[in-house]
Structure 1
Amino acid sequence: MTTNSSFDETVVDDPGARVLYWVLFPVLGAGLGWVVRWAAGWIAGLPVAPLHAVFKAIDEAPDPQATLVALGVGLLVGVVVSVLAVADMLVVRVGIGEVTLTRGGSTKRRVARGDVTAVFFDRDQLVLLGRDARELAREKTDLSKTRVEAAFTGKGYPWRADGDPHRDEFRIWTRLDDDLPGVAHGLLIDRAAALAEGKTAEAAELREHLLKLGIVVRDEKKKQQWRRDRRELA
């Protein structure tokens, strides 16, 4: 975990974890490939086994070619997992004039300092609030909370060590909730389905649509919770 500071910007990153991902997952993948090659004969000999024909083909393939292929495929799978893991890592850049949140080198959020009224952690999510209790950013991260807090307080941002000042306004969403606009209720129904199916990108997109309607959403134990912000909508 590193924090690079300058007068204009403090960067909180975790290059150690990035290196670990690039080394660990390919090694584990290659190891898994070797295990599959070693266990293929035993699995193929079972009366009932998933992918029986595949394991039989692996067992009957000649060595050392079969072992090398298994190691190579496992290594490739590990590299793919490493790419996905690194791409999901959050980097926080706290400047005097703005905050930039990036993943995989791509900017996720850019928030002007003057728009920020509170910064805090909600469990493992970094949250930035703006005027009228609007949520400007909510990003999951494994970065050190202490270093993130130091980066924001060092640049004079309003850090909330006690967490979300609006936590008591959240309520659990249900399909019978009649205190929501019809469009927002429909979006929450779609988002619940996306979460159940593991479609995180779709759930994030639906959450953005809800924010535009003035509805702030957080997830607690696989249940959606919502509150209204305080803007005046036409």
Structure 2
Amino acid sequence: MTANESSFDETVVDDPAARVLYWVLFPVLGAGLGWVVQWIAGWVAGLPVAPMKGVFRAIDEAPDPQAALVALGAGFLLGLVVTFLAIADMLVVRVGSGEVTLTRGGNKAKERRMSRGDITGVFFDRKELVVLGRESRELAREKTDLSKKDVEAAFTAKGYPWLAAGDPHRDEFRMWTRLDDDLPGVAHGLLIDRATAIEKGRGEEAAELREQLLKLGVVVRDEKKKQYWRRDRRELA
């Protein structure tokens, strides 16, 4: 975990050690898994009933050492895929004197920039970094495993308002249910769609729906696959 001062007067909080670990660990584990699959293929193929029995029989009947090399290679490639996915989900925080930038996986298309003048508070809500704006809006809510100490130090060093006590609006959140009648139809419908996305593990869709809700003045936080909402200080559309 590192927090480095860049040449552009910004502190960068990143975790390069985790990236190196991912590049080494996941491919090795994948290759190991491939070896295990090749090793147990004969046993699985001999069972009376087993899932993918034909695949295991084909692996068992393949000639050595080609079969072992293919199994190791396939597992290694699977590990690389997992590595790419893990790195694509890593958050990098850049804190400058006049601007904050949050980038996930180095994807510029999903980069979030926030002007210092728009930021009224920053805090951690469990493993989520939250940036508050005017009228109690949430400018960002990003899950991250970055060091909380390093992130806090980066913001406080630049004079941003760090809220050590956490969310000042936490008591305003209420759990959403399908019978909730205190929301306009559009927001209620988006929360229904978002509940389905969360249930089915479609994280990107849930994030997009959350952005739509923010535009309507509805702030959403998740806890154990349940949605909690509050209004910001604007009138709902």
Q: TM-score range by the shorter chain?
A: over 0.9
Tell me the residue number matched to 1:3.
3
Where does structure 1 lack aligned partners over 5 or more consecutive residues?
none
Tell me the residue number matched to 1:54.
55
**Deviation per CA, 1:192-220, whole angstroms, max 9, x where unpaired?**
00111110011111000000000000001
What pairs with 1:102-141 in structure 2 (closer than 5 Å)? Answer: 102-107=103-108, 108-141=111-144
Q: Is the 8 A contact 2:218 2:236 kept in 1?
A: no
Q: Is the 8 A contact 2:12 2:93 kept in 1?
A: yes
TM-score of the superposed pair, with normalisation by structure 1: 0.98
Q: CA deviation at 1:221?
A: 1.4
Runs of 4 or more off by more than 2 Å in structure 1? none
Identity value in percent: 80
How far, CA to CA, are the matches of 2:208 and 2:159 in structure 1? 31
How far, CA to CA, are the matches of 1:14 and 1:223 in structure 2? 30
What pairs with 1:4-19 in structure 2 (closer than 5 Å)? Answer: 4-6=4-6, 8-19=9-20
Q: Give the root-mean-square deviation of aligned CA atoms.
A: 1.0
TM-score of the superposed pair, with normalisation by structure 2: 0.97
Tell me the residue number matched to 1:171.
174
Tell me the residue number matched to 1:29.
30
Q: CA deviation at 1:172?
A: 0.2
Q: Does 1:216 align with 2:219?
A: yes
Partner secondary structure for residue 117 of structure 1:
strand
Q: CA deviation at 1:233?
A: 5.1
How far, CA to CA, are the matches of 2:224 and 2:89 in structure 1? 21
Where does structure 2 lack aligned partners over 5 or more consecutive residues?
none
Partner secondary structure for residue 163 of structure 1:
coil
> How many residues matched?
234
**Deviation per CA, 1:71-95, whole angstroms, max 9, x where unpaired?**
0000000000000101110000000
Q: Is the 8 A contact 2:221 2:229 kept in 1?
A: yes
Letter of the 2:66 partner, please give it. Q
